[in-house]
Each structure stands twice: as C-alpha cells, then as structure tokens.
Chain A
Amino acid sequence: MSGGMIKTDTSGLADIVLTTKGDLATWDTERVRKGVSATNYTGLQADSAIADGLTYGATARSTLAGTGSLLYSSGANTLAQLSAGTGEYTLKMNSGGTAPEWVDVSAGATVTVQSDIMTSDETTTSGTFSDTALALTCQSSGKFFATTSLNWAISVDTACFFRFTDGTTDIQRMQGDQSTFGGRLNIAISDTGTSASQVVNIEIKTSGGTLTLYGQNDQATSRLDMMEVS
C-alpha cells in the first residue's frame, strides 16, 4: 500500500474505500473516497465549501485547448481561454474592459500631411487683411495641426501683420516690424474642427509701405503645412 495509509484507521481500509483508478482517500468526518475527476487535466483544489475540503477544478492545462491561446480570468477565480488571434493582430481590452480581444492594427489612425508652398512672391499695400495663396483644406476628420513658415520683408519702418484663419475666423495673429526686417516668421496653430472641408489660410496686411511675402526664393520660400489625423 502506497501513500502511507494507516491499516488501523477505524473508518475502513483504503483498499476498500478506493474503487477506481485515480481515486483518493480523504476525510470529512470519516475516511471517504474522492473519486477521480471525469475531465482530463483538471486539478485537485482546496475548497472549504466541500464536505471533504477538496474539489476538482479547471487548470491552465485543462483550459488552454489550442496553440497560441492565452489564459485570462473571466471572473473571480475563473479561468478562461482567449484563442490565438489572426496573424499580425494586436491584443487589447474590449470596449467593456472585461476581456482581452484581438484587433487588426491596420484599422488604426491614418496621418495625412499636406503642404502648400508658394511659387510666387506676393505683395500688399492694404491696411486690411487680404488672403494669400497659402491655403489648405482638411480632407476628412477635421482634426489637424497646421504650421506655417513665412519669409517676408517690409519696405518702411512700420508694422505688418499675418493672420492664421480657419477660412473665416481669426485664429492667430503675428506682428512683424522693421526690427525683424526680412525675417523668417514661423507660427503654428492646432485646431480641432468637425468639418471635412475645414480651410486654413494665411492673410496679410501692412500698416505702412509694401509688405512682401516671398515665394520664389528657393532658400526661404513661404509655406503652409497641415498634418491631419483620421
């Protein structure tokens, strides 16, 4: 007899209690038979709710049935299997935050970059804003980051103004003057819209003399760039 069974136990002999391959002898108020689990790969686990304090329950081995499967908890003390995902898929939590799932990462965000580069100089003597050739239209999402680089000069000691608009509304203004004569000015905006046809453009005006926005100088061409996320 293996397992250290005690021949003198008053509840009976182990070779009488145990009847089936895999049976165990255990104890509640007397020696009793613990029948082997009918399910392969389950394991014997302590459970105070059971009379003899033992139960057969799922194990990682009994839960994971396929190659590449993952083990997770579907509830308190409950094992569950997530079958292998499709090739190149990424693991993430489901929308309810209750279980992992596989998703196609190719369905992620798309970044679109547009540029508008001036090919001709523009000049203005106007004291009110006038639009330039620099304009871009948001293609789909309305969520974008736009930045501009302006290379300019003004003919007299006065101020000039640059305005970033969303097509109609003043978003941001910058002012230059003779102290920054011929300088390169960079301004940036980040804006979120809801229209797929959202326009951003650059407008200029001067408070004296002629304001020149350079567009044909290869070293310092004025430009507008937009990065859109959809």
Chain B
Amino acid sequence: MKIIKFTKNMSCDDSHNCSDNIVTKLESKFAGIKLMIRNKTDTVHGGIHIRHAPNSHTIKLICYEKTENPNNDHTTTLKKYADLDNLTETTVKNALK
C-alpha cells in the first residue's frame, strides 16, 4: 500500500463535505482514479483519510499497489492505479490548490 500523508493549512465547518470536495478534486485531476466506494461492487484504487483540525488538515491518501478481489473483508475490488508513479506528495498537493 502506498500512503501519501501531508498537512494542509485549511479549515472547514462540515467535515463530510470537506472530504467529498477533496475526493472530487483528486478524482478530477488524476484521470480514472477512484477514491470512494459508491457501490458495493465498485473497483477502487484507494481512499482518503482526513483529520480535520482547524488550519491544519492532515490528509492521508491510501493507494493500493496490488489487485485484491472481493473477499470476506470487502465486497469491492481493490486495484492498483495505472498511473500510481505519478501520485506523489507534490502532485497531490498541487491538485488540491
């Protein structure tokens, strides 16, 4: 699993909307990436974990490096993102500007 973790100077009033906005931005900037399970049988490339501290959001991008089919632990398919090498702290930070 590849994890990109960094802090961003930002604040929010609604953590759920804040998370959705960040997921939307990343999914629009990195073609084809899926970072949220929308249906139980989706194929996803990872997820976003955010600690919404005022003026200091900690953002952790979790990316799968191996394909993992549905099993007892999850109904989704976990898949490596095709352009995983292009996912770096710098490119992710730029995508969120």
Contact = CB atoms under 8 A, between A and B. Distances in A.
19 contacts: A120-B53, A120-B54, A122-B52, A123-B16, A123-B19, A125-B19, A125-B35, A125-B47, A126-B47, A127-B47, A128-B62, A128-B78, A155-B20, A205-B47, A206-B47, A210-B16, A210-B23, A212-B16, A216-B52
B36 interface: yes
Interface string A109-122: 00000000001111
Contacts, number: 88
Interface in B29-64: 35-40, 44, 46-54, 60, 62, 64
Contacts of A120: 51-54
B16 A126 contact: no
B40 to A, nearest CB: 6
A153 interface: yes
Given A207-B76, A208-B38, A209-B38, A123 B50 contact: yes
A207 B75 contact: yes
B14 to A, nearest CB: 9
Contacts of B39: 208
B48 A158 contact: no
Interface size class of chain A, counting residues whose CB lies under 8 Å from the partner chain: 20 to 34
Interface size class of B (residues with CB under 8 A): 20 to 34
A130 interface: yes
B15 interface: yes
A206 B37 contact: yes
A171 interface: no
A210 B47 CA distance: 10
B84 interface: no
Nearest to B44: A127
Contacts of B82: none
Contacts of B60: 130
Count chain B CB atoms within 10 A of each CB in A124, A158, A206 and give the residue with the most.
Answer: A124
Contacts of B44: 127
